[in-house]
Amino acid sequence: MHLTNKWVRIPHLFQRPLVLLPLFIIPFVMHAQKPTGPSSGKIRISMQKMVRSDADSTASVIVSDIQEWDPRETAIIVCDMWDQHWCKGATSRVAEMAPRLNQVLIAAREKGITIVHAPSDCMAYYKDHPARQIALKANKKKYQKLINSDNLDSEKGAVWPIDQSDGGCDEAVTCTGGSPWRKEIDALEIKDNDVISDNGAEIAAVFEKKGVKNVILTGVHTNMCVIGRTFGLRNMIRLGKNVVLMRDMTDAMYNSRKAPFVNHFSGVDLVIGYIARYVCPTMLSTDILNGKQFRFSTDKRPLIAFVTAEGEYRANQKLPEFAHELLLKEGVKCEFAVGKAAMDGPGRHNIENLPILEDADLAVFFVRRVALDPHKMQYIKDYVASGKPVLGIRTASHSFNANGNVPREGGAVGASSDKVSDFLAQWPEFDEAVLGGNYQGHHPPLKIPTQINIVPGMEKHPLLKGVPAEGFGTPGWLYQNSPLRSENAQVLLVGSIPGEHAEPVLWTNRTKSNNKVVYTSLGHWADWDNAAFHHIMVNAVNYLLGKNN
């Protein structure tokens, strides 16, 4: 495969122009057999991807794509989960991930999903296994010509995010290379009705017979085999499949002593980010199996949960750019819970992936007037009740105040013994109870900037490191928040416009649950290019994570 080992350390990777994947790739399934087997109903798959911004053609935005799949038309491919790897670290990480992956496979089988075990170079070991015989009986010739080792057209101009030229061993003493694998790791059960194959054309022939349209890739290693094998992400896309990477069930071969010189797991995240932008969407194992997403025990990075659903200030562009910088420079892990970047329309009152709050060390809210299913709102309330820190940006002051009841789309649905509200849950008290604010709207937009000044005596506060003493201007219209409604609030910056009294625009707060809070009513898309605002955002993250105080 043509994988460049060139790398680039760029603060805003997501600002590179995006080439969208084609909506229709060469169709190949002719007269596919009607799917057979048990049906357990549709499965709901919540996928994240990066697409070109409508507002800025040079940028990308993060979006959620919710799809309902027929399990009988769905397959999971397990890539190269070998019994042993030449790298000791890789071997230990596979062993740690395998029990969770096996649970995913068990749940998937019960739903009627096809499981394909693809331990490359190990087919001799399974030559007599019934699951291997299923693949051997398939006619692969018609698919062979569609498979190659090239990058996709959607990757033209893309820069590979890590240097893997040394093979990616992250051990203190580099392990000796080789091919010690003989079979798939024993922790993964292989059933007779599964499929065993390491040949993409062979697997495609099996999929035609079974009527498989949707393919989930899991296993290792994301930057090599998962993306590039004949059955990998690229070739499944070439074969016309609806492809997704299960991002918490994978690992990469990356040596943290190589560029861009980040933690091993940050290197994995950079590759996943590349895939989400240039190759295919990503999902979590929690769509198949309940519980928390998987995380390696040696991944000790603080986890920041970005919660965004805002259609006015380009939060779905600016937050991923900011998160990418934090990953590169501050050594943190960033996850996203994403809602629609829209002011109205179907599906607006929803945010996907909120369970990330259960593991988060910091939650960042940039949401505008969203109502949620009560069980989703509970993730937010439980996070606040935990006493962990909160960063609120601009519209966070009215995150969960939809200005009136919001009916469930399609009406209330629940078990016959349950009473389900016809209306979605809101939390208008979030502004006062968590942020300490008092949002009452905003002043009209002006042709001149709003002037931002430091409150006298606050010049040495850690949040203001790098902010010029004379203050700065912002094109964003001034929010009205005075007087604040928390006795613990400490105002650091105020904003002024002609003919009006100054308003607080940056403050800290302590809640009744002892949450450490930072809120700013700044956050217009142009603010992110202002050095002073940029310093404030980085300072806020470090301050709330206890890094600089």
CATH number at residue 245: 3.40.50.850
Q: What is the mean pLDDT of the chain?
A: 91
pLDDT for position 27: 34
Closest CA to 246 of 48, 11, 513, 44: 48
Give pLDDT tens digits for 124-173. 999 999 999 999 999 889 999 999 999 999 999 999 999 999 999 999 99
Q: Which residues pair with 152 in a beta bridge?
A: none
pLDDT of residue 245: 98
Burial 149-165 (b: 16+ CB within 10 A, else e): eebbebbeebebbbbbe
Q: Are residues 208 and 151 in the same domain?
A: yes
Q: Are residues 234 and 280 in the same domain?
A: yes
- The more confidently predicted of residues 8 and 496 is 496
Q: 99 and 140 share a domain?
A: yes
Interatomic CA distance for residues 449 and 443, integer angstroms? 12
Same domain membership, residue 339 and residue 250: no
Q: Is the pLDDT of residue 37 over 80?
A: no
Same domain, 353 and 217: no
The model's confidence at residue 449, banded by pLDDT at 50, 70 and 90, is very high
Per-residue pLDDT of 242-251, as tens digits, reads 999 999 999 9
Same domain, 252 and 373: no
- pLDDT for 422 equals 83
- 359, 361, 363, 364: CA torsion to nearest 10: -130
Contacts of 247 (CB under 8 A, 6+ apart): 272, 276, 282, 283, 284
In a domain, residue 380? The reply is: yes
For residues 281 and 334, state if they share a domain.
no
* More confident site: 84 or 5: 84
pLDDT for 144: 93
Of 293, 316, 351, which one is at a domain's C-terminal end? 293
Per-residue pLDDT, averaged over 100-122, amounts to 98
pLDDT the model gives residue 419: 54
Identify whether 489 is part of a domain. Answer: no
Give the per-residue pLDDT at 172: 96
Are 288 and 319 spatial neighbours (Cβ–Cβ below 8 Å)?
Answer: no
Residue ending a domain, among 277, 293, 309, is: 293
* 241 Cβ neighbours under 8 A, 6+ residues apart: 207, 212, 213, 214, 215
pTM: 0.90
Judged by DSSP in three states, 222 sits in helix
Query: Is 324 a member of any domain?
Result: yes
Interval 462-466 mean pLDDT? 97
For residue 418, pLDDT over 90 is answered with no
* Inside any domain, residue 231: yes
pLDDT of residue 416: 35
Token pair belonging to 231: 């059955």
Measure Cα distances from 393 to 319, 467, 534 in Å.
10, 18, 13
Domain match, 195 and 339 both: no
Please give the average per-residue pLDDT across 202-214, as a whole number.
97
